[in-house]
């Protein structure tokens, strides 16, 4: 395998993985600033496809790298854990958010607290995966 193919794949993987911080940051901003639930829910729904796209590219470029390099590491383990954590959390977020109507204030309040924790956890998982992947720690 020419080394340029590997370094190009690493660059693509790193480029798209870096953007994974943006959706949780934006969602946290909306969760802390938007008071009207209907508008908040719309904004989170709007961000979701971009989040899924970035996750898909990160996963596929990661799998390609894995097949080329074929070596396991702590950083790689953390990337997989982070990816799965974010993915499972997003499915749960979708299921929690979908049935909430505009008058169910108790469910809305519960969702907002849950979603704040979820996106903070996403950021933490992202930072751990990035830090271990780049061997910062």
In the bound state with ligand HEM, the residue whose beta carbon lies nearer, of 17 and 115, is 17
Q: Does 119 bind ligand HEM (CB under 6 A)?
A: no
Residue 27 Cβ vs ligand HEM, minimum distance, rounded to whole Å: 16
- Of residues 13 and 93, the one with the C-beta less far from ligand HEM: 13
Sole binder of ligand HEM in the list 23, 37, 58, 108 (CB under 6 A): 58
| Shortest Å, Cβ 101 to ligand HEM | 33
77-96 residues near ligand HEM, rule: CB under 6 A:
79-80, 82-83
List the one residue from 23, 24, 62, 89 that touches ligand HEM (CB under 6 A).
Answer: 62
Encode the chain in three state secondary structure: CCHHHHHHHHHHHHHHHHHHHHHHHHHHHHHHHCCCHHHHHHHHHHHHHHHHHHHHHHHHHHHHHHHHHCCCCHHHHHHHHHHHHHHHHHHHHHHHHCCCCCCCHHHHHHHHHHHHHHHHHHHHHHHHHHHHHCCCC
Binding-site size, ligand HEM (CB under 6 A): 24
Torsion of the alpha carbons at 32, 94, 89 and 112, rounded to the nearest 10: 20
Q: Using CB under 6 A, pick the residue from 22, 25, 63, 88 that binds ligand HEM.
A: 63
Q: Name the residue number minimizing CB distance to ligand HEM.
A: 62
């Amino acid at each position: 395998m020419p080394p340029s193919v590997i370094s190009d794949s690493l660059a693509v993987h790193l480029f798209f993985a870096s953007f994974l911080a943006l959706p949780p940051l934006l969602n946290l901003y909306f969760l802390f600033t938007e008071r009207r639930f209907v508008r908040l829910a719309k904004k989170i729904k709007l961000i979701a496809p971009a989040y899924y796209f970035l996750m898909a590219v990160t996963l596929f470029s990661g799998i390609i790298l894995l097949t080329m390099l074929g070596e396991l590491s702590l950083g790689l383990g953390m990337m997989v854990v982070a990816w799965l954590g974010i993915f499972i959390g997003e499915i749960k977020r979708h299921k929690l958010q979908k049935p909430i109507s505009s008058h169910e204030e108790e469910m809305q309040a519960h969702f907002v607290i849950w979603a704040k924790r979820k996106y903070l956890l996403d950021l933490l998982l992202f930072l751990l995966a990035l830090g271990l992947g780049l061997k910062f720690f």
